[in-house]
């Protein structure tokens, strides 16, 4: 599923290649992709320039003058930009593969901007959504989502994290970090990576963490996103990490591969019904000592 690094790649691509460009054409190939109150439609965006591109967690709000569009890629959405006058970019779920002919049969929306800069939204599982709303309602709409601080935003500080962990003493770590109302942007891949980096079992209870462990978990989240954001996210295809062993991601999608720290084979388990990868030695169920 596209998480913060994948959505941030889309935000950066849109900001650098589409900001200020006017939308000249749209082709909506799956009507349920767009959710809009009566009276709002993609037609209202025609002839309008893209004025702002934001991101909070996995939500990607775009502003076209008086109308805004909040994009959510959900499980398998991808945004690909192409055109003769832009570098283009690939962001989100890696299927169909980068470089595939577009539009693909699962391309649900094609937005053509001036100079033939074209944005393709493709989603093989049909869960991605775009919500249209008046731009002056965007802040309230985002507030209503009750998202926690964005994991690379200014509110995600060490002091905030220490206090937030203290306020959720009974929570297990993996479900807590996946909870978008706790911290926004982390998903299954980067939570597994952060917990491995911090040497913490995914089902440790928040109240059992020492101050050092809480600090280490904060540092691990920061470090994992520092690796993942510049590369636009990890490449996972059919549940398998794509690059060679030793490259990022270090544990997610690497069942049976030796742990990079201790050599023990990585195991895959279910936590809250999510496939979860960990090292059984580095991330024991009970804190040693
Ligand atoms: Zn290990």
Residue-wise pLDDT for 52-82, tens only, equals 999 999 999 999 999 999 999 999 999 999 9
- Please count the helices (runs of H) and the strands (runs of E) in the chain: 6, 14
Q: What pLDDT was estimated at residue 287?
A: 53
For β-strands 107-113 and 23-28, DSSP reports them as antiparallel
Please give the distance, rounded to the nearest whole angstrom, from the Cα atom of residue 255 to the centre of ligand 1. Answer: 12
d(CA 238, CA 165): 33
If you average pLDDT over residues 93-122, what whole number do you get?
97
Distance 285 CA to ligand 1 centre (A): 13
The residue ranges of every structural domain in the chain are: 4-144, 158-278
Tokens 């049909």 belong to which residue? 126
pLDDT of 246 reads 83
What are the catalytic residues? 2-3, 58, 274
Q: Is the pLDDT of residue 235 over 60?
A: yes
Distance from residue 195's CA to the centre of ligand 1 (Å): 12
Res 48: pLDDT: 98
In sequence order, the 6+-apart residues with CB closer than 8 A to the CB of 250 are: 193, 196, 197, 260
Give distance in angstroms: CA of 170 to centre of ligand 1: 26
Q: How far does the centroid of ligand 1 lie from the alpha carbon of residue 288, in Å? A: 14
pLDDT in tens, 179-197: 999 999 999 999 999 999 9
Residues in the chain: 289
State the Cα angle at 62 between 16 and 96, rounded to 5°.
75
| Residue 1 binned pLDDT confidence (cut-offs 50, 70, 90) | confident
Name the band, by pLDDT with cuts 50, 70 and 90, for residue 245: confident
The Cα 204–Cα 200 span in angstroms is: 7
User: What torsion do the CA atoms of 260, 262, 263, 269 make, to the nearest 10 degrees?
Assistant: -80
Beta carbons within 8 Å of 235's beta carbon, 6+ residues apart = 94, 241, 242, 243
Which tokens hold the place of 97?
Answer: 């593969």
Q: Which CATH class is domain 4-144?
A: alpha beta
Residue 58, Ramachandran bin (φ over 0: left; ψ between -120 and 50: alpha; else beta): alpha
Distance CA 232, CA 59 (A): 15
Closest by CA position to 18, among listed 155, 138, 116, 113: 113
CATH architecture of 158-278: Orthogonal Bundle (1.10)
The secondary structure element, H or E, covering residue 174 is helix 173-178
Centre of ligand 1 to C-alpha 184, Å, is 28
For 11-58, what is each residue's pLDDT tens digit?
999 999 999 999 999 999 999 999 999 999 999 999 999 999 999 999
């Amino acid at each position: 599923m596209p998480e913060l690094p994948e959505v941030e790649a889309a935000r950066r691509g849109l900001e650098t290649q589409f900001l200020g460009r006017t939308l000249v054409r749209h082709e909506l190939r799956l009507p349920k992709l767009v959710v809009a109150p009566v009276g709002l439609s993609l037609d209202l965006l025609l002839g309008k320039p893209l004025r702002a591109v934001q991101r909070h967690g996995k939500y990607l709000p775009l502003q076209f003058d008086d109308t805004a569009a909040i994009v959510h890629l959900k499980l398998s959405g991808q945004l690909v930009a192409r055109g003769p006058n832009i570098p283009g970019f690939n962001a989100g779920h890696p299927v169909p593969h980068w470089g595939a002919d577009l539009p693909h049969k699962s391309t649900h929306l094609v937005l053509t901007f001036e100079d033939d800069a074209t944005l393709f939204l493709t989603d093989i599982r049909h869960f991605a959504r775009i919500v249209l709303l008046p731009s002056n309602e965007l802040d309230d709409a985002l507030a209503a989502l009750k998202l926690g601080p964005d994991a690379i935003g200014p509110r995600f500080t060490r002091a905030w994290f220490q206090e937030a962990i203290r306020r959720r003493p009974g929570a297990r770590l993996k479900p807590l970090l996946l909870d978008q109302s706790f911290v926004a942007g982390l998903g299954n891949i980067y939570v597994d990576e952060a917990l491995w980096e911090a040497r913490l079992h995914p089902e440790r209870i928040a109240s059992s963490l020492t101050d050092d462990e809480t600090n280490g978990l904060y540092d691990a989240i920061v470090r994992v996103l520092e690796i993942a954001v510049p590369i636009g996210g990890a490449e996972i295809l059919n549940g398998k990490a794509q690059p060679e062993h030793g490259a990022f991601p270090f544990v997610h999608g690497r069942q049976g591969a030796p742990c990079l720290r201790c050599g023990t084979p990585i195991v895959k388990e279910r936590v809250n019904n999510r496939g979860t990868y960990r090292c059984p030695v580095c991330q024991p169920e009970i804190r040693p000592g």
